[in-house]
Structure 1
């Protein structure tokens, strides 16, 4: 970019000012825009031009009449005003790094992402506003039900194929629903829209988490929390915090994982009508955190509590749809994984094997993921033949789903085979691996 056309940098004293730091942290763009105007001399019309917003929208934000929640808009603000990504909970922006040092990072790639090229074909925010004015209709409960059904379908397809291909559609629908929130509607309809937007943001975060793009995942999970907080949906906030806790476990941050799941349990218990299934799921996430920390007593206590809560579930009791996945096979397999994380492989193996026999075969990612866990517990016990047989069976579902998490478990198992590379059963597994997934281990 020529020097003359490069966006003006914000003064260092503004970027380090506690008021600016706090406003960015909570994404309070009313305060951000006011500070940019008064401290940097960048007026609303300039803000609008640099961030690809309309002047009227910027004016409404400055007046406190509009919130900016969507990630696409937040990223444009960061880039247009040159606000470092970490201040807004985003990945490091491309312009923050000298071009000679730009690299492709697994965690938060700075090159064009799959969804961005697809989003370029979607209407811009200004067109969205025009189309919304031209087609204002009163939303009915049936419309909300249709939106919820589409989310359930997204989750099913995510289980079968992974979320990367779904992400552009999910982000597009999130933007559409956030646009609907800008209009005044009856309380029940507005409440429902916020809940749907929160679930779409969580699903987007989940697809990034499954791709091991953790910074982007955290940003969308945070957006989901903010949307749920507006309607005081504490059980759902607990669910999002539980997702963030699981991500922290994968990032080898067990202390963060425990803090997040403890906050999730606090939210759930403060909610009216917290269900036993939700509390059971949260106790199992707590067990994962304790196991990663190596705390055997606390892990066993959390497992016991998870089973105690699960026994309280009664058929017909109303429950959030998002926790329906946590059925008995899921409880059993998670119990096995928690024992496996502690190194208690003899206890873990029969539990994971039993759950695999009972699991829904449609969930390809879950079957691959759990089969690799089973193979690792068998290998840890010296059962080389069984481990390779189990892992070979896992290759078919693994090939059907685009999931970096599954690939990560495959790589871990493959690395564990290093001392046995010349064994015939290992050579046979490697041959099948090269045939079914030629690029997964070497990538």
Structure 2
């Protein structure tokens, strides 16, 4: 029997991963021909006007309840066509018509809304107001993209802001563990940043895609994306942005077991960050709070992946000690959980339990799929220690079970 379109995509993705190269449903003979009509379930976004695709994706997210849960994360979509982006931009410009006039007032309004959404995301997690961001992006902002601009400067400014909002939509979906949906928003962010000729911002999104890939266990792909972020933004990115892109290459090298290059990339990131001036950094660096604190967290995770647990613990402790915990509650929670994981692996269960409890204290009011995954991982670690857990660890496990039960209850939705 001939499989449906969704099943064909799943088969193509499974075979691609097994073969180590991209195979699509047409290659398998499961789909004949093809359509250039925007498809929110598909991944071939490179033939269409980005404003149109943004509307297609956003409306599917808002109107189809199960779309975010069923969207497939695909290795094929990581093959970003950097070498042909100028042709893609030219097609997008030709597709745009003359809508309403867009000027500085609209640009300032979008910038202010982006700042509000971004700050709330860092404090309360990706699940907080996720659809509100998508609604604003697909209603107000997508309309502006199809408008008339007084100057090319204004056009590029609006497309950069739209790219940041699309990135934020992707980041919120990623933090909510909606990985296929996150990937689609990241692709739209790349398209929009390229339209704005904002290579540094495009590098920022490529870095986020690398972060997602390494978290999902795709080390070589993460390394390729992180390297692309450096290559694409070369000569355009500020010191702190370059440090952020560089430390993600360290995560990629660590995931592939390359100790020497991991160490070298970590040292290079520290040098770049030491040369940064906060006032000269773009808004997306300032909002994300990438400082020595964040760098220490990333270094700690890279060293953990390499198996250097003592040094990883030192870096994670340094990150926790210097973090603004109120402004960046989500990442503080995740860093505490990472530290506890390392301590548990080192056989120091009491210290690990204390930090897991601190992490759960910080989760109050935070809607984050990654935080929920951290709690599940903690319970898995505790269960692997057998039935003779100390009382303090049993109490933590019971607390975690209650937390997960609440997260899965209709009341929490």
Please give the per-residue CA displacement for 1:64-89, whole angstroms capped at 9, x wherever unaligned.
xx76534442587xx9xxxxxxxxxx
After superposition, the Cα gap between the structure-2 partners of 1:183 and 1:287, relative to the gap in structure 1 and judged at 3 Å, is same
Residues 56-205 of structure 1: matches in 2 within 5 Å?
A: 68-73=51-56, 108=71, 139-140=103-104, 142-175=105-138, 176-186=140-150, 187-205=152-170
Rounded Cα–Cα distance in structure 2 between residues aligned with 1:321 and 1:71: 22
Rounded Cα–Cα distance in structure 1 between residues aligned with 2:180 and 2:238: 31
Rounded Cα–Cα distance in structure 2 between residues aligned with 1:349 and 1:382: 13
Using CA pairs under 8 Å that are at least 6 residues apart, name the structure with larger relative contact order, 1 or 2: 2
After superposition, the Cα gap between the structure-2 partners of 1:189 and 1:160, relative to the gap in structure 1 and judged at 3 Å, is same
In structure 2, the residue matched to 1:28 is 47
Rounded Cα–Cα distance in structure 1 between residues aligned with 2:402 and 2:35: 57
Does the CA-based 8 Å contact 2:247-2:299 persist in structure 1? yes
Does the CA-based 8 Å contact 2:202-2:229 persist in structure 1? yes
In structure 2, the residue matched to 1:16 is 32
Deviation above 6 Å: which 4+ runs of structure 1?
Answer: 21-24
The Cα of 1:146 is off from its aligned counterpart by: 3.1
Residues 37-436 of structure 1: matches in 2 within 5 Å?
A: 68-73=51-56, 108=71, 139-140=103-104, 142-175=105-138, 176-186=140-150, 187-271=152-236, 274-314=237-277, 316=279, 318-324=280-286, 325-362=289-326, 363-418=328-383, 419-421=385-387, 422-434=389-401, 436=403
After superposition, the Cα gap between the structure-2 partners of 1:344 and 1:439, relative to the gap in structure 1 and judged at 3 Å, is farther
The runs of 5 or more residues in structure 1 that have no matched partner are 1-11, 30-65, 80-89, 95-102, 110-131
Rounded Cα–Cα distance in structure 2 between residues aligned with 1:389 and 1:75: 41
The Cα of 1:382 is off from its aligned counterpart by: 0.8
Rounded Cα–Cα distance in structure 2 between residues aligned with 1:21 and 1:307: 46
Rounded Cα–Cα distance in structure 1 between residues aligned with 2:58 and 2:276: 43
* TM-score of the pair, normalised by structure 2: 0.75
* TM-score of the pair, normalised by structure 1: 0.71
In structure 1, the residue matched to 2:95 is none
Does the CA-based 8 Å contact 2:51-2:142 persist in structure 1? no
After superposition, the Cα gap between the structure-2 partners of 1:254 and 1:394, relative to the gap in structure 1 and judged at 3 Å, is same
The runs of 5 or more residues in structure 2 that have no matched partner are 1-25, 73-97
Q: Report which of the two structures shows the higher radius of gyration computed on alpha carbons.
A: 1
